Amino acid sequence: MGQNLSCNIQDEHGWFSAIQHGDKETINTLLENDPNIIRKTTVYDRHSALHIAAANGQNQIVCLLLENGSVNPDSLNRYKQTPLMLAAMHGKISCVEKLIEAGANILMFDSLNGRTCLHYAAYYGHSECLQTILSAARTSHVSASWGYSRFVNIRDGKGATPLHLAARQRRPECVHILLENGALVCASTGGYGFPGSTPLHLAARGGSMDCIRELLAWGADRLNRDASGRIPYTVALKHKNGACAALLNPSSAEPLVWPSPLKFISELNQDAKTLLEQALMEVNKERERHILEASGCSVSSHARCDATDIDDNMSEASDSQLCCICFDQLCAIEVQDCGHQMCAQCTLALCCHNKPDPITAALPEPICPFCRSNIAQLTVVKVKVKVNPAEQEVNLYSSSRLQKSRKSRNLSEGSSSFRGLSAVPSFGRMLGRGSGRVSFDHDYDKTVKIEGSG
Ligand SMILES: [Zn+2]
Ligand SMILES: [Zn+2]
């Protein structure tokens, strides 16, 4: 009897070790000997075989276990963690996918901090897992019963949302994905970190410039105070994050904010969106460079791309491709249907608000500055440039250096690509399009005024 028991313990040890290492042969042998071994858990942590396989990224074993009808995809260990949480924690994307496919519940809370799998993915910075869980939330019962945006902003036991955790742990990619999916940029925590901290406070503490950049671009308020009255700037100073503090200093230039109206454009073309994001980040980095230079902080190497290696072939692009609003950048964005074109920066500026309005949830759709039609879709301009006898498609924006070769056409000097907007440009070049007359407020943050129609 005693011998039998020790044999079982040895089997169990072999079982979990085989699961961990993906040793299918041993697993099958042990299962044949004792089908019940599949329900065993480890002695202390009470991990099931599925927990161990998921945490170790043993996708085939996860499949094998899930195919066995007696395995619960949502089994709990000692800390009420599910296999999905462990897969998200360790960034095992194929296991995350497999578990969700098998019906694992994304809305489970552990007993350690009251966190979900979304918190785990955000905290450990596994952006792919985060994206997969969010996609699942859109289609699963969670969005029906809980609401998608509520899930994105789900709080742990101390009131931290996934965005708080990603900002604190220096996970800019996760910060970006969460914001794009409706995470509230100014939400304050209950007890996590310092009470009343916003994601910006936590990013200031973590010291990630990329996180701060993302949060500011999404409208995070530099003047929000935590429960002890500190603004993010104070937090950055306290933690000796000098460059972060320079950006967070309320007296330094306001960053450009990703315009809310663009979020309302139905199914914004992914390429167009990427271009607009690049444009926004580029403008902000230019500002950042000035702020950092002024404050004596070292400038990060990627803050500025060098202007020296201008592609000679690109200068053959014809004049008609120059943006008719700023006469500085090349047209990179086309409004679908009417076909009017402008550069990404101007597209942004037309829709740009300094701060998203917290009161009016519904914003008017952005309209084309040339013909006043509602912008339903933006696409990326692809221009054919003769590089060699064979024509080659060139994505204009990706070589933004091109603008350097056109400095002579600039209307005015200055560093911001938005300067052209304060002048009333000539629209002679647009006559071929039969557009109406367009004029701009001197404050380019305001909506564009349009007179007459084409
Ligand atoms: Zn422009
Ligand atoms: Zn138009």
Ligand nearest to the CA of 332: 1
What pLDDT was estimated at residue 298?
56
Ligand 2 centre from 277 Cα, in Å?
21
For tokens 């980040």, name the residue: 281
Ligand nearest to the CA of 416: 1
Per residue in 19-78, pLDDT (tens digit) is: 999 999 999 999 999 999 999 999 899 999 999 999 999 999 999 999 988 899 999 999
Within the chain, which residue ranges are assigned CATH 1.25.40.20?
1-154
Q: Residues 288, 210: contact at Cβ < 8 Å?
A: no
Ligand nearest to the CA of 346: 1
Q: What's the mean pLDDT in 10-25? A: 92
| Alpha carbons 72 and 108: distance in angstroms, whole number | 14
Ligand 2 centre from 111 Cα, in Å?
55
**β-pair partners for 85:** none
What pLDDT was estimated at residue 10?
79
Per residue in 343-390, pLDDT (tens digit) is: 888 888 776 544 444 455 455 567 788 888 877 778 888 755 544 544
Ligand 2 centre from 219 Cα, in Å?
28
Ligand 2 centre from 344 Cα, in Å?
15
Q: What is the DSSP string of 327-368?
A: SSSBP-EEETTT--EE-HHHHHHHT--SS--SS----PPPB-
Ligand 1 centre from 342 Cα, in Å?
5
Beta strand 437-439 pairing with 333-335? unpaired
CA angle 426/431/432 to nearest 5° reads 140
pLDDT of 174 higher than 90: yes
The CATH number of domain 1-154, selected from 2.60.120.10, 3.30.300.30, 3.40.50.300, 1.25.40.20: 1.25.40.20
| Alpha carbons 64 and 44: distance in angstroms, whole number | 24
The torsion angles phi and psi of 270, rounded to 5 degrees, stand at -60, -40
Q: What's the mean pLDDT in 189-214? A: 93
Ligand 2 centre from 256 Cα, in Å?
24
Q: Residues 118, 130: contact at Cβ < 8 Å?
A: yes
List of residues 6+ apart from 437 with CB closer than 8 A:
427, 450, 451, 452
**CA dihedral sign of residues 96, 99, 105, 111:** negative
pLDDT of 289 higher than 80: yes
Task: Name the 3-class secondary structure at 90.
Answer: coil
Using CB atoms within 10 Å of the CB of residue 199, give its burial: 0 to 12 exposed, 13 to 18 middle, 19+ buried. Answer: buried
What pLDDT was estimated at residue 372?
83
| Alpha carbons 185 and 178: distance in angstroms, whole number | 9
| Alpha carbons 182 and 175: distance in angstroms, whole number | 11
Ligand nearest to the CA of 328: 1
Q: Of the given ranges (72-81, 309-318, 414-423), which has the lowest mean pLDDT?
A: 414-423
Q: What's the mean pLDDT in 84-100? A: 98
Q: What's the mean pLDDT in 120-146? A: 93
Task: Name the 3-class secondary structure at 248.
Answer: helix
| Alpha carbons 21 and 218: distance in angstroms, whole number | 43
Ligand 2 centre from 371 Cα, in Å?
4
Ligand nearest to the CA of 349: 1
Rounded percentage of the chain residues whose pLDDT exceeds 70? 72
Ligand 1 centre from 221 Cα, in Å?
28
Q: What's the mean pLDDT in 129-155? A: 92
The residue among 168, 159, 165, 179 whose CA lies nearest residue 227 is: 159
Q: Residues 365, 373: contact at Cβ < 8 Å?
A: no
The CA-based diameter of the chain, rounded to the nearest angstrom, is: 97
Ligand 1 centre from 105 Cα, in Å?
47
Burial 56-93 (b: 16+ CB within 10 A, else e): bbbbebbebbbeeeebebebbbeeebbbbbbbbbbbbb
DSSP type of residue 435: -
Ligand 1 centre from 324 Cα, in Å?
6
pLDDT of 415 higher than 50: no
What pLDDT was estimated at residue 123?
98
